[in-house]
Chain A
């Protein structure tokens, strides 16, 4: 063997590494030049075909539950594979993998999904139950873009103020219990709020009511001054916050463990804790579940991926989830107003739709649905803070 004469194996190894690294760099650079902006924007489905046998969904916790999934699978033959997401960012991230057929996107995700080419237009004619959806949910800026429908409304609601009745007395009527620095200090370390940049809007809703001189109109369209005021309020809140939650289950356990006493939360956590006989309460029904300032909330939309591998099953799902009976079931399970007007005939609590103001457009004026903050926010001067600013500010707030 002439091993020694023909070179040092280590040097050979290094030259292989070097050439492969060079190759990779070229590859990465190549990705850079062949930029594709947006991805494929598949057109809407023209005709409904046979189901593909399964459908992959990304949803908010509580939206895809066995009670209405099992009958769907039985009826359509589409097996449902699903994944809960804790934040809109997580939903977008999951949708970009291209492995999911659809998502129950909130307004702070829809525009980004459409702009990123991650979702396709929806042919509402293929969703028969769309016709009877509440009119004030149709053609909204968060589900219809340039006159093109990008999804089917699922339901809407307001984010909740929740507290432990043994620790928090008297019952708070306003968000000031967690946002007014003096009041919040009483519950130092026992406050938990949502861990997402969109929570800045909660501070804006509060300021809109408490500091009219700022002139805040829409809490997602904030100019420099309004935005700094909201961010500063949250920086003052930070020392009092015990936990920033991004997983609903984590917040549930924190409430049952006694870590949290007062919180910004969702219906899902409230009902789970109630079912577990925990001593929690939320702003009462007589106030419409909304504290005096109003509240941020959501109006969710089922969207279909532009890379959907099971489009027919996805269309079947979109029709199923807004069919009167199922939409009533989902709305009652989650604690939100149904999107389907006919659902009100099928709720087990006959007054459910009244309680949740499902058909009262005036009520929803005080609920600010999540939306994506953009610079060009319609005030004519394009001086609003965009979502990137919100993300950076959120990092800054948490310190």
Chain B
């Protein structure tokens, strides 16, 4: 005891000891020290690059070299507003993202419901793995696979050829198809989690009260599962909104927001930055609505 006291009060204390003293009883400092690392990373790397993007949108560009001229201007936003092609591209992207989301919701619901309520524990596990499996293969591989399947001599055309129909070929339909395929697992998983949370007793109660399967679905299951659908839609919508490789590969010249940004980034970064504000704004609005619909408890 005495020896320990002597040590503690000795003038030369270790650095660790002094640090411990510093933090003792100061919870504000404790939290700050704990969070500084991860938050600093998040803010500097992530929000920082966003901030630079935001600032660049107000800059001009040297027409020859494409170097930034750092004087404030709103020309880029004027171009975006006045030139109808940018509105068309933005609208096409948002529309496709919405359509993909709807498609995935419709496809995912029966699968998720089967997994959550009908299948045995074992089957569910198999299905979860099956849903996750495509996520283990690289994104480009999947898009290129579709590129080959949808090509003129590809399997889609040869199968549909038997019933005298032509495949969609490359274009906006192909983009919709491939995006719906790519992001389906991101809808199934939150929906499965959401449906599993609905107590079976509620469904039984609804049936006991005389509701048919359709009414039960419409009045009980759908309202309870809706926040989960919205949660899933955040993924399907935002991932489609930001994708530019799929339109590039199977779009047959269809431009999405990302393609226009990509083609402008070298020569006119400010215009690209300004256009990048569009999906950011769309996602902010989307997330605010999603929060209101209670989606965040289902993420």
A residues sitting closer than 8 Å to B (CB atoms) are 1-3, 6-7, 9, 12-13, 16-17, 20-21, 24-25, 27-29, 31-33, 35, 37-38, 89-90, 92-93, 111-113, 115-117, 189-190, 195, 197, 238, 241-244, 246, 250, 253-254, 257-259, 372, 374-375, 386-388, 391-392, 394-396, 398-399
Contact A12 B48 (CB under 8 A): no
Contact B51 A25 (CB under 8 A): yes
B residues sitting closer than 8 Å to A (CB atoms) are 25-28, 31-32, 35-36, 39-40, 43-44, 47-48, 51-52, 55, 59, 61-67, 69-70, 79, 83, 85-86, 88-89, 147-148, 151-154, 169-170, 248-249, 252-253, 255, 260, 263-268
Minimum CB distance partner of B169 in chain A: A189
Shortest CB–CB separation between residue A297 and chain B, in angstroms?
22
A222–B162 Cα distance when bound, in Å, is 51
B residues within 8 A CB of A117? 65
Of the candidates A24, A241, A396, which one forms a contact with B51 in the assembled complex, judged by CB atoms under 8 Å apart? A24
Shortest CB–CB separation between residue A12 and chain B, in angstroms?
5
Contact A112 B36 (CB under 8 A): no
Q: List 23 A-B contacts (CB under 8 A).
A: A2-B27, A6-B26, A13-B31, A13-B39, A16-B40, A20-B43, A21-B47, A28-B51, A115-B67, A116-B65, A190-B152, A253-B151, A257-B148, A257-B153, A258-B153, A259-B152, A374-B64, A386-B64, A387-B63, A387-B267, A388-B268, A395-B89, A396-B85
Contact A250 B48 (CB under 8 A): no
Of the candidates A112, A241, A399, which one forms a contact with B64 in the assembled complex, judged by CB atoms under 8 Å apart? A112
Given known contacts A27-B48, A242-B252, A395-B263, is B63 in contact with A16 (CB within 8 Å)? no
Contact B31 A9 (CB under 8 A): yes
Given known contacts A242-B252, A399-B255, is B43 in contact with A24 (CB within 8 Å)? yes
B residues within 8 A CB of A113? 65
Nearest 7 A/B pairs, CB to CB? A116-B65, A257-B151, A258-B152, A115-B65, A20-B43, A89-B266, A3-B27
A residues within 8 A CB of B88? 399
B residues within 8 A CB of A190? 152
A residues within 8 A CB of B69? 35, 37
Contact B170 A395 (CB under 8 A): no
Of the candidates B25, B61, B265, which one forms a contact with A1 in the assembled complex, judged by CB atoms under 8 Å apart? B25
Contact B35 A112 (CB under 8 A): no
Contact A244 B55 (CB under 8 A): no
B residues within 8 A CB of A27? 48
A residues within 8 A CB of B40? 16, 20
Minimum CB distance partner of A94 in chain B: B266
A residues within 8 A CB of B260? 395
A375–B147 Cα distance when bound, in Å, is 40
Contact B27 A89 (CB under 8 A): no
A396–B79 Cα distance when bound, in Å, is 12
B residues within 8 A CB of A375? 63
Task: Beyond the given A115-B65, A246-B248, A257-B148, please list 19 additional residue pairs across the A-B interface where CB-CB is below 8 A.
Answer: A7-B27, A12-B35, A13-B31, A20-B40, A20-B44, A28-B48, A28-B55, A89-B263, A89-B267, A116-B66, A244-B253, A257-B152, A259-B151, A391-B263, A391-B264, A391-B268, A395-B255, A395-B264, A398-B255
B residues within 8 A CB of A395? 85-86, 89, 255, 260, 263-264
A392–B170 Cα distance when bound, in Å, is 24
Minimum CB distance partner of B68 in chain A: A35
Shortest CB–CB separation between residue B73 and chain A, in angstroms?
12
